[in-house]
């Protein structure tokens, strides 16, 4: 899984030079859950580690403790501790078809993971914030939807969900060649993103058609052919941060009505932070 993530970054790094610096950071806050038995995996809660009184969000991890506090916007300033950037490891993705020509736009982005850390953050111990690139959807997914992304990365052409009946249905291809379902769906979303803000009905259509079209006439969510791993990544990207009882609620008719406008993307989701905003 780790090697595949490295391959993803290596293959897509070519197109990521010169993009804007991020405006969202993630900072660690101690687990404040009073439940001695630990929290429920996937549960979200508000956190107060952000500057300027901004409220962030934490997610319960597999070990029963809450993860980093995700702070919206440029709320964590402060001086550098002198630590240099790690070279801006790229997290851009561009699912190429053949002959080097891509049918979908790259999933753009430059991430300075572990770059100059913020100093004097009152009790934070000078820990470097995790940077989320607002231009890079995959960067956000690998950080804020890490369990779902890891499950997706483990499901490839050698390990499909149903090797007997559907050997060609898998989440992420070994060589990031565009054949994975998540590659196709994110490529479709990215192509729409190049035109401006991508609304819920277009994201649902890209998913329902497995990346073939953003036409709202494709509306079934999730589509029958989509694997659980692919569905999990997209639901994590788009659902409300505290959604646990009804995964996929983002695509319900109440959120995407047949008349009027769909509800806007919610704060602290990758859909809002980096996956659908216009470039």
Nearest Cα to Cα of residue 210 among 240, 176, 170, 256: 170
Which letter does DSSP use for residue 194 in this model?
T
**Tens digits of pLDDT across the chain (279 residues):** 544 554 444 344 333 333 333 344 444 333 444 445 678 777 778 777 776 666 777 777 777 788 787 876 533 333 333 333 333 333 334 333 333 333 333 333 333 344 443 444 444 455 667 778 999 999 999 999 999 999 999 999 999 999 999 999 999 999 999 999 999 999 999 999 999 999 999 999 999 999 999 999 999 999 999 999 999 999 999 999 889 899 999 999 999 999 999 999 999 899 999 999 876
Largest Cα separation within the chain, whole Å, is 56
Domain extents for the chain?
A: 143-275
Coil, helix or strand at residue 58: strand
Quick one: CA torsion of 262, 267, 272, 277, rounded to 10 degrees? 80
Phi, psi of 163 (to 5 degrees): -65, -20
Phi, psi of 231 (to 5 degrees): -60, -40
Coil, helix or strand at residue 193: helix
**Residues contacting 138, CB < 8 A, separation 6+:** 8, 12, 91, 92, 93, 107, 109, 186
What is the rounded distance in angstroms from the CA atom of residue 94 to the CA atom of residue 89? Answer: 15
- Does the model's pTM come out above 0.95? no
Sign of CA dihedral 213, 218, 223, 228: positive
């Amino acid at each position: 899984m780790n090697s595949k993530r490295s391959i993803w970054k290596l293959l897509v790094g070519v197109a990521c030079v010169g993009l804007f610096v991020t405006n969202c950071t993630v900072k660690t806050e101690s687990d404040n859950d009073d439940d001695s038995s630990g929290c429920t995996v996937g549960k979200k809660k508000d956190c107060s580690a952000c500057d300027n009184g901004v409220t962030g969000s934490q997610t319960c991890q597999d070990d029963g403790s809450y993860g980093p506090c995700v702070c919206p916007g440029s709320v964590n300033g402060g001086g550098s501790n002198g630590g240099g950037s790690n070279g801006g490891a790229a997290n851009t993705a561009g699912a190429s078809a053949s002959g080097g020509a891509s049918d979908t736009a790259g999933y753009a982005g430059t991430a300075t993971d572990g770059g100059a850390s913020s100093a004097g953050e009152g009790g934070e111990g000078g820990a470097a914030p995790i940077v989320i690139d607002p231009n890079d959807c995959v960067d956000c997914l690998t950080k804020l939807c890490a369990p779902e992304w890891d499950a997706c990365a483990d499901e490839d052409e050698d390990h499909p969900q149903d090797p007997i009946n559907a050997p060609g249905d898998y989440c992420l291809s070994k060589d990031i060649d565009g054949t994975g379902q998540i590659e196709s769906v994110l490529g479709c979303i990215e192509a729409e993103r190049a035109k401006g803000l991508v609304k819920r009905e277009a994201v649902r259509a890209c998913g329902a058609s497995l990346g073939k079209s953003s036409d709202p006439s494709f509306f079934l969510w999730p589509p029958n052919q989509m694997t659980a791993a692919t569905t999990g990544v997209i639901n994590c990207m788009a659902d409300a941060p505290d959604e646990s009882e009804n995964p996929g609620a983002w695509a319900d008719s109440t959120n995407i009505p047949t008349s009027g406008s769909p509800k806007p993307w919610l704060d602290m989701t990758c859909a809002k932070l980096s996956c659908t905003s216009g470039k």
